[in-house]
Structure 1
Amino acid sequence: MADRYRAESTLSDRGQTAIPSSIRKHLGLEGGGKIEYEIDEAGQVVIRPKPEAAVPVSDEADPALRPFLSLLEQDIEQSPTRLEPMASDFVAVAIAIAGSWQNLVEFDPNSFDFTDDDAAELSDLFAEIEAEEAGT
């Protein structure tokens, strides 16, 4: 049988209580986090962290997005000849980083921590590619 741990808290007149810090720590809960309750088949109450829903990208999420996209659209309409395809080396590096073309297409930037060291390494890699292209 798994080790069990018990904690208690007091219910206020309004039906509110604080989750003991040991339980919050175990569940990985922080202030502002959400929890969900479930009553299982045995009648036991299960408390767990509520998974965060993906936040849809919208103008409200990034107020600069719509003006930027409008500016980009205008520029493409006014000067379509300035569009250039991505260099094959750039695409190859992106695929290599992602592991496959499918991973690149399905890439979720929130799925990993991108550090300053990672950014510096990519910057160096792209500088090398540009230098090679300039030399050819």
Structure 2
Amino acid sequence: MAQVALETESTLTDRFQTTVPSSVRQALHLGKKDKIKYAIQSDGSVVISRAAAQQNDPIIGEFLAFIARDMQANSGKIEPLSASMRESVDALVQGVDIDLDAPLLDEDE
């Protein structure tokens, strides 16, 4: 069994959330918005580590660069959204209600 360098605990909230203790944040060099990786071992223990930084998708980056170049090269062809196009968009999202402040459902946790 590996030697323990640090042991600490935290509590789960009603929404199964917890605060990462400061000693763990410091040991893993975690900052705001960093991701944490959980590796569950066969004996039931869990190894928590800092997740590797997510790399930007090169395909999406190239596509966005293409769009930016095209808009720059053809800026005279850019037109505002027409009234009929706006009506089409409104029809597509009619009846769709989104409340960004609503709590997550259990299945979304």
Report the TM-score, using the length of structure 1 for normalisation: 0.42
Count of residues in Structure 1 that have an aligned counterpart in Structure 2: 70
Structure 1 residue 56: Cα displacement: 2.5
Q: Which 5+ residue runs of structure 1 have no aligned equivalent? A: 72-136
Identical aligned residues as a percent:
33
Structure 1 residue runs of 4 or more that deviate by more than 6 Å after TM superposition: none
Which residue of the partner structure matches residue 19 of structure 1? Answer: 20
Q: Deviations over 1:2-56 (max 9, x none)?
A: 3531111121111110000110111111110111212112211111111123212
Q: Which has the higher helix share?
A: 1
The whole-number CA distance in structure 1 between the counterparts of 2:66 and 2:15 is: 39
Which residue of the partner structure matches residue 52 of structure 1? Answer: 53
Q: Which has the larger radius of gyration?
A: 1
RMSD: 2.9
The whole-number CA distance in structure 1 between the counterparts of 2:44 and 2:3 is: 19
Which residue of the partner structure matches residue 66 of structure 1? Answer: 69
Higher relative contact order by CA 8 Å / sep ≥ 6: 1 or 2?
2
Q: Which 5+ residue runs of structure 2 have no aligned equivalent? A: 75-109
> Residue 25 and residue 63 in structure 1: after superposition, are their counterparts in 2 closer, same or farther (change >3 A)?
farther
> Residue 54 and residue 44 in structure 1: after superposition, are their counterparts in 2 closer, same or farther (change >3 A)?
same
SS in 2 for 1:36: strand
